[in-house]
Amino acid sequence: MMLVRTYLSNSTIEGIGVFAAEPIKAGDVVWRLEPGFDVLLTDQEIEGWPAHMDDFLDRYCYPHRELSNTWVLELDNGRFMNHSAVPNTNFEEFHAGYATRDIEPGEELTCNYFDFDINFRGNFSSGKDAAASVAAAG
């Protein structure tokens, strides 16, 4: 669940991104995992879903670090946060994300997908950030 005001807009990183709608101070909690709001899906629950849903799940879900065979699907703007090798948030703590520096209104919020998704493949469509992220992934 996003804990700061945000909006969606076109991103230079990938399609749509999440942008700050208010000033965010370094150290502020910008997101927290909120079961009951964020959806936790098990492998058994999604097993019988139509094949076309695999693309949606691949794009918007990530594995829960503490519950095996469980996936997290964020319902709010958080699911549109794009990857960056030099993000302005830190998600190393699985249940929360923090601003690593002051973030101005209108600035895109970014995170390092490797912080919470060990399966992240580093696929990008284009841009300098993509090249930097792939290089950082090794």
Sign of torsion over alpha carbons 1, 31, 73, 17:
positive
Residue 29 phi/psi, 5° resolution? -80, 120
pLDDT in tens, 35-91: 889 899 998 998 888 988 888 888 888 888 888 888 888 889 988 999 998 999 999
Residue 7 to residues 28, 43, 76, 78, 99, Cα–Cα distance (Å): 18, 31, 10, 10, 17
Mean of pLDDT over the chain:
84
pLDDT in tens, 76-131: 998 899 999 899 999 988 889 999 999 999 999 999 988 877 667 655 433 334 33
> Could you give the percent of the chain with pLDDT greater than 90?
44
Residue 136 predicted with pLDDT over 80: no
Report field, pTM of the whole predicted structure over 0.85: no
Residue 6 predicted with pLDDT over 50: yes
Give domain limits for the chain: 6-34+76-137
Q: What is the CATH number of domain 6-34+76-137?
A: 2.170.270.10
